[in-house]
């Protein structure tokens, strides 16, 4: 997966809306942010990116992706019909969603180093802050000089177990949501369900960790030898 983002002015997107984009091999979203600028962001699978670049030879990857979004999403075409791009397309990648918190030696991992989620659920910064707070709450119980050898290994193991308890479900659900969005055979039925029962969207967001504090386990149950 590769991520792309650009800002636009003079779009028709109403403030307060965050439409989700679902297309073959990609997903994304749009939102009106600071100073009335609309941000269009998406993640594109490598094969889908290669395919759209063949349709726009000689252009940048960002412009090729913009062309893909305009061709594939009527909502994007409508929102950007009279819009002007504010700055260049930005990109980053490859993204590597997955859990990597289980290393028992070396630096303690937080944020994407501990576990990277598909951006579809918008929990990356939240998970980075919450995992940092979780690790700090464990480390401050020990002096820096004491966090060596067996103590360090035990702290790594306890932190990894807590991290999984708090965040693993978010990553699994983000993966499920992302794969549904990138596969038209799944996205169309999902859209039909959401139109019929829109409350499912709120339930799915809550399951992915939105609008709720992370259920950080009590540190009093952790035993470090």
**Residue-wise pLDDT tens digits, 124-158:** 888 889 999 999 998 888 888 888 888 888 889 99
- Domain boundary assignment for the chain: 2-92, 98-221
Distance CA 141, CA 155 (A): 11
pTM of the model: 0.77
- Both tokens of 98, joined, read 């997955």
Task: Report the run of H or E that residue 7 belongs to, with start and end.
Answer: strand 2-9
Per residue in 95-123, pLDDT (tens digit) is 889 999 988 788 889 988 999 988 887 78
pLDDT tens for 153-186 read 888 999 999 999 989 988 998 898 888 889 988 9
The yes/no answer on whether domain 2-92 falls in CATH 3.30.9.100 is yes
Q: What is the DSSP string of 90-129?
A: EEE-----EE-TT--SSS---HHHHEE--GGG--HHHHHH
Mean pLDDT of 42-66: 92
Tokens at 147, concatenated: 């966090």
């Amino acid at each position: 997966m590769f991520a792309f983002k650009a800002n636009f002015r003079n779009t028709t997107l109403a403030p307060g809306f965050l439409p989700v984009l679902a297309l073959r091999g990609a997903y994304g979203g749009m939102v009106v942010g600071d100073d009335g600028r609309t941000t269009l962001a998406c993640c594109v699978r490598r094969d889908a990116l290669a395919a759209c670049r063949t349709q726009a030879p000689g252009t940048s990857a960002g412009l090729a992706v913009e062309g893909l979004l305009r061709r594939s999403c009527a909502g994007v075409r409508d929102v950007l019909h009279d819009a002007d791009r504010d700055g260049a397309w930005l990109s980053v990648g490859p993204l590597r969603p997955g859990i990597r918190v289980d290393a028992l030696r070396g630096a303690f991992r937080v944020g994407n180093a501990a576990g990277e989620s598909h951006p579809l659920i918008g929990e990356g910064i939240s998970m980075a802050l919450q995992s940092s707070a979780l690790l700090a709450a464990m480390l401050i119980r020990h002096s820096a000089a004491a966090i060596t050898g067996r103590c360090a290994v035990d702290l790594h193991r306890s932190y990894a177990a807590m991290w999984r308890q708090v965040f693993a479900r978010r990553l699994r659900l983000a993966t499920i949501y992302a794969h549904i969005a990138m596969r038209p055979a799944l996205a169309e039925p999902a859209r039909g369900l959401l139109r019929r029962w829109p409350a499912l969207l709120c339930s799915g967001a809550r399951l992915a960790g939105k609008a709720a504090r992370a259920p950080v386990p009590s540190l009093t149950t952790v035993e470090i030898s």
